[in-house]
Structure 1
């Protein structure tokens, strides 16, 4: 699978560490993706959730429709537990906090998203500062919802865009090889056994 790291696989699910700059699913003009690579090995693969092209980290895919439905419902009911790690620009004030800002598509500038109190959908992110060198802050991010570009927008709204973000911090992306956002941990219940699956993939930056 080239640079895709397989973290877990059985007859129901496949869990991978997606590298940055690889689509989760095929794009309109780009057929290469994590899904297409997995299909070459496993055949039928069902998309449960996605990560942005520029984000690395844990994704779980279903190998049949029963697994798809079971885990999708956990995401929809917010029964999964997700932890991301990010480097953000500047020194973040405070040690922890919560961002509750609604998000919608920025239609004239798709695929960008935007904060909108009139058209946006509910989006909630909790955060904790892990480290701060005066120029960048290392953050743990706990998204309660899963809106497109949620963490990227919420960090920018905090006044500290993610280092290397090509959409919301292009000046940083011009000098950084990747966006510094990683889906580090994901917990969910196995679709058949019900066992708690606690997946961890160390942050590569």
Structure 2
């Protein structure tokens, strides 16, 4: 059972406990925190409170995350494109529309369900819900994702991500014509105070985020770009491109409300993935062609 403790600062007073904890750890949803409050996993000064309790300076918050319920995630014979596989790692080209791992209320049809069927072993570091998953890409982003097949490989790949030695290059189509060939967006990302489901560039309770971009092709009111991640924050490319005024085509969260093209989700593809093999030390690089919907989108833009 994981245990966390915090002491409320002067700047944090009068914030609801369920809101404050989503700020302290953006991996926790407000719904999850409210459930922990009901289960008395969260205590203030050793006493039970309600989710709408507004904290005071000096309050001692204690959270003891309950052990997760035993869940049976089933292997499913879902076709997936395994680009590479050995005893330690696998690289998969995830299609747009597929969720990476199960979540409450959504336990089937994910990449993990497919991996459990197609791969003999997966690391257990992330537990029953996310076996083998070292990093994620959004449901409606296509492209390459690395998978660990044992705990040693998992730890190595996670350390490479932390050390920023992996290579992750995405290709995207954005609204607007970017006037310069190259650029770097260095802007911290955190939860949006107005909408906790969204991320935004903010100085408050944020984490460093750096994206390097290169213009590949320009069109009338659109640009085809390549983005290389230096960090890997939630929705990083989508948030950063919106921040500089060039939101992704088809992005339901951060793009224009009116759809410009017939594409499901954002026009974003994880095209290149590079890392050091955890066992052999070999430098490995993989590439995945654009999905058909992005190829068709570029064709339309080139022939307009």
C-alpha distance in structure 2 between counterparts of 1:53 and 1:47, whole Å = 14
What is the correspondence of 1:50-199 to structure 2 with a 5 Å cutoff? 50-106=136-192, 109-173=195-259, 175-178=261-264, 179-199=266-286
| Structure 1: 5+ residue stretches without partners | none
State the structure with bigger RCO (CA 8 A, min sep 6), 1 or 2: 1
* TM-score, scaled relative to structure 1: 0.94
Bigger Rg, which one? 2
Give the structure 2 partner of residue 40 of structure 1: 117
* TM-score, scaled relative to structure 2: 0.64
Contact (CA 8 Å) 2:188, 2:208: kept in 1 or not?
yes
Moved over 4 A (4+): 172-175
Residue 110 of structure 1 aligns to a residue in which SS? Answer: strand
Deviation at 1:171, TM superposition (A): 2.1
Q: Select which of 88, 105, 109 maps to 1:12.
A: 88
Greater strand share, structure number: 1
C-alpha distance in structure 2 between counterparts of 1:11 and 1:108, whole Å = 45
Aligned residues, how many? 205
**CA deviation string 1:84-112 (max 9, x = no partner):** 10000111121111111110122552331
Q: CA RMSD in A?
A: 1.6
Q: Select which of 99, 104, 111 maps to 1:28.
A: 104
| Structure 2: 5+ residue stretches without partners | 1-76, 123-131, 295-304
